A and B are shown apart, each in its own frame.
Chain A
Amino acid sequence: EDKVVQSPLSLVVHEGDTVTLNCSYEVTNFRSLLWYKQEKKAPTFLFMLTSSGIEKKSGRLSSILDKKELFSILNITATQTGDSAVYLCAPDFGNEKLTFGTGTRLTIIP
Chain B
Amino acid sequence: NAGVMQNPRHLVRRRGQEARLRCSPMKGHSHVYWYRQLPEEGLKFMVYLQKENIIDESGMPKERFSAEFPKEGPSILRIQQVVRGDSAAYFCASSPDRTLYNEQFFGPGTRLTVL
> Which residue in B44, B58, B101, B103 is a CB contact (below 8 Å) of A100?
B44
A100 to B37, CA, bound (A): 11
> With A31-B101, A43-B91 given, is the CB distance from A95 to B109 under 8 Å?
no
Interface residue A68 (Cβ < 8 Å from any Cβ of B): no
One digit per residue, 1 when the CB lies within 8 angstroms of any chain B CB and 0 when it does not, for chain A 80-110 equals 0000000010101001111111110000000
Which residues B28-69 have CB closer than 8 A to chain A?
31, 33, 35, 41-45, 48, 55-56, 58-59
Contacts of A45 in B (CB 8 A): 103-106
Interface size class of A (residues with CB under 8 A): 20 to 34
Interface residue A62 (Cβ < 8 Å from any Cβ of B): no
Q: Kindly count the residue-residue contacts between A and B in the assembled complex, taking CB atoms under 8 Å apart.
A: 60
Contacts of B44 in A (CB 8 A): 100
Interface size class of B (residues with CB under 8 A): 20 to 34
Please determine whether B102 and A92 come into contact, CB atoms closer than 8 angstroms. Answer: yes
> With A96-B48, A97-B56, A97-B59 given, is the CB distance from A43 to B43 under 8 Å?
yes
Please determine whether A95 and B108 come into contact, CB atoms closer than 8 angstroms. Answer: no
Task: Decide if the interface of chain A is mainly helix, strand, loop or mixed.
Answer: loop
Kindly provide the distance from the CB of A96 to the nearest chain B CB, expressed in whole angstroms. 5
A103 to B38, CA, bound (A): 13
> Which residue in B41, B56, B91 is a CB contact (below 8 Å) of A42?
B91
Interface residue B25 (Cβ < 8 Å from any Cβ of A): no
> With A96-B48, A96-B55 given, is the CB distance from A101 to B42 under 8 Å?
yes
Given A31-B101, A34-B104, A96-B48, 14 more pairs with CB closer than 8 A = A41-B108, A42-B107, A42-B108, A42-B109, A44-B106, A45-B103, A50-B101, A95-B56, A96-B31, A96-B56, A98-B45, A100-B35, A100-B44, A102-B41
24 A-B residue pairs with Cβ-Cβ distance under 8 Å, sorted by A, are: A31-B102, A36-B106, A42-B106, A43-B43, A43-B91, A44-B106, A45-B105, A48-B103, A88-B42, A88-B43, A92-B101, A96-B33, A96-B48, A96-B55, A96-B56, A97-B56, A98-B43, A98-B45, A98-B93, A98-B104, A100-B42, A100-B43, A101-B42, A102-B41
Give chain A's interface residues, CB within 8 Å of chain B: 31-32, 34, 36, 41-45, 48, 50, 88, 90, 92, 95-103
